[in-house]
Chains A and B, each alone.
Chain A
Amino acid sequence: MKKLEFIYEDGAHKWAVVARDPEKPNHLIDTNEYLVLNGSEALLADPGGMEIFSAVFSAISAEIDPYTIRHLFASHQDPDVISSLALWLDFNPELKCHLSWLWGSFIPHFGGTADTFVAIPDEGATLSLGGLALDAIPAHYLHSSGNFNLYDRKARILFSGDVGAALLPPEESSLYVENFDRHIRHSRDFHRRWMGSNKAKLSWCERVSRLDIDMLCPQHGAIYRGEDVKRFINWFADLDVGSGIRD
């Protein structure tokens, strides 16, 4: 069963993750859903697929009032990211969903009305969560052509979507990366195949390396902390991406 775990707390400003689910069916990719709370408002980043909605909703509702969630953030358009949209809107039709303008007419196939969506321009934007600034950082072509990360300057946390993702075996169940070298083996093939552009990758690495980041939180796999954040950025900068097709 998925559980909500707090990864950052500073008074009413918190980050929590509904981390990987050991009970999920094997045919579904495992995902992390991140909840950013600031006072009476919350934002759910990459709310997940329809099939895991009940697990995510239950995990969140067990800890907080789910009506505090006012915003959804979709890093990109994939079904494991946002196909639960209609169910979230069933629960609260007032929810706003922030996403790349590029997917503005695609994501509504999952649900929502014209009022649901807040388009993020290519250059990014700053979202306000009860006065807390959250920066939508461009990560286009990593892997989606309209793709954003979400950066919390105050908490020094970067939600990185598919960047930093790892497809971990069941025995590697830790919430955080414990051994970078062992962990990164589960990331290599994913990044080589899913990340399509070396140019986009280097641009991302250059921009993100200038940010203060204590935690880099991917949608799949474990969270990078401390020095592992820098290790990951350097590793990613050196990796030849767009090259992972199996022979």
Chain B
Amino acid sequence: MNIVNDTISSLHRVVKANEDIKKVIRISSGVNLVALNAMLIAKRSGERSRGFAVVSSELRLFSRNLDAAMNGLGELIFSLVRDAAAMQRQRQQHSHFMTVMKANKSVRKWAEPTLARVEARMGVVEEEISQDWHRLRLQLNRVLQLCESGRSLSRSAKIEAVYGGDMSTTLKQVASQIEGTVDEIFSTLKLLRMQLAD
């Protein structure tokens, strides 16, 4: 039965995806700090950095939205782990009843209805797992779109940094930091999307 092997690979895939998501969560918590730092620097620079301050404020909002989106991914991973574990449990039960089915006909007849029920349940859980993966891919696409807006903001921050007068160098450094962080999130998520598409 394909379900058996699918269960094992499903758990491995969930664990792998979860590791990538955890990595993004770690990085994204940095965006908030960098954006906050950018806002403070912009405030110190006064009127000359007004544009940079606006972008920094938007970046903080982006960071909050990213957090919420990543939490959504985390919840989907939780569902996947739960369903993959349920499948593993069904798989074990299936295996035990399959062993009973190796006995003679008079014994098999008692196990057949139970085996059919276990297989029906495996079918239901398999469908749930498939829907979980679908929802995960959709959510991932939403996060990637969000990251696109984050990248635009980081580019805007770089442009606004040029108008920062004597604070321009510091603002450029902060803008580069933001760009680097957002790029790292983006490339990790893109890689994850590629893996999930396999």
Partner-binding segment picked from B1-9, B15-23, B73-81, B95-103: B95-103
A61–B93 contact, CB under 8 A?
Answer: no
What residues of chain B lie closer than 8 Å to A62, measured between beta carbons? 103-104, 106-107
Cβ contacts A167-192/B at 8 Å (1 or 0 each) = 00000000000000000000000000
Contact: A53 with B110, CB < 8 Å? no
- Give 1 or 0 for each of A220-243: 1 = CB within 8 Å of chain B CB: 000000000000000000000000
State which of B48-56, B111-119, B130-138, B188-196 sits at the interface with chain A. B111-119
Partner of B96, one of A53, A65, A66, A67: A53
- Alpha-carbon gap, A67 to B109, bound state (A): 12
Beta-carbon contact of B110 and A61 below 8 Å: yes
| CA of A224 to CA of B92, assembled, Å | 36
Stretch at the interface among A39-47, A74-82, A86-94, A129-137: A86-94
Residues in B whose Cβ lies below 8 Å from that of A57 = 100, 107, 110-111
Q: Which of A131-171 contact B (CB under 8 A)?
A: none
Closest-by-CB residue of B relative to A1 is B103
**Residue on A with the closest CB to B109?**
A61
Could you tell me if B106 and A87 are in contact, using CB atoms closer than 8 angstroms?
A: no
A-B contact count (CB 8 A): 41
A203 within 8 Å of B by Cβ?
no
Contact B93 A58 (CB under 8 A): no
B107 near A58 with CB under 8 A, answer: yes
Size of A's binding interface in residues, CB under 8 A: 14
Neighbouring B residues of A53 by C-beta, 8 Å: 96
Contact of B110 among A50, A66, A86, A90 (CB under 8 A): A66
CB–CB B103/A87 < 8 A: no
Contact yes or no, A61 B118, CB < 8 A:
no
A91–B106 touching, CB < 8 Å? no
Set of chain B residues within 8 Å of A54, measured between Cβ atoms? 96-97, 99-100
Contact of A87 among B96, B107, B117 (CB under 8 A): B96
Q: Which of A62, A65, A91 has the most CB of B within 10 A?
A: A91
A90 touches B93 (CB 8 A): yes
A62 to B111, CA, bound (A): 11
* A51 closest partner in B (C-beta): B96
Given contacts A50-B96, A54-B96, A61-B111, contact A90 B104 (CB under 8 A): no
How many Å lie between the Cα of A57 and that of B117 in the bound state? Answer: 17
Q: Is the CB of A90 within 8 A of B118?
A: yes
Q: In the complex, how many angstroms separate the beta carbon of A50 from the nearest chain B beta carbon?
A: 7
Q: Cβ of B106: which chain A residues have Cβ within 8 Å of it? A: 61-62
Cα separation A66 to B38 with both chains bound (whole Å): 72
**Contact status A90-B117, CB under 8 Å:** yes
* Bound complex: CA A67 to CA B93 (Å): 18
Q: How far is the CA of A62 from the CA of B102 in the complex (A)?
A: 12
- Within 24-61 of A, Cβ neighbours of B (below 8 Å) are at 50, 53-54, 57-58, 61
> 18 more A-B contacts (CB under 8 A) besides A62-B104, A62-B107, A86-B89?
A50-B96, A54-B96, A54-B97, A57-B100, A57-B107, A57-B111, A58-B100, A58-B103, A58-B107, A61-B100, A61-B111, A62-B103, A65-B110, A67-B110, A86-B93, A87-B93, A87-B96, A91-B114
Q: Supply 22 A–B pairs (Cβ within 8 Å), ascending by A.
A: A50-B92, A50-B96, A53-B96, A54-B99, A57-B100, A57-B110, A57-B111, A58-B99, A58-B103, A58-B107, A61-B106, A61-B107, A61-B111, A62-B107, A65-B110, A87-B93, A87-B96, A90-B93, A90-B117, A90-B118, A91-B111, A91-B114
Sorted nearest first, the 8 A-B pairs with minimum C-beta distance are A54-B99, A58-B103, A61-B107, A61-B110, A91-B114, A54-B100, A58-B107, A54-B96
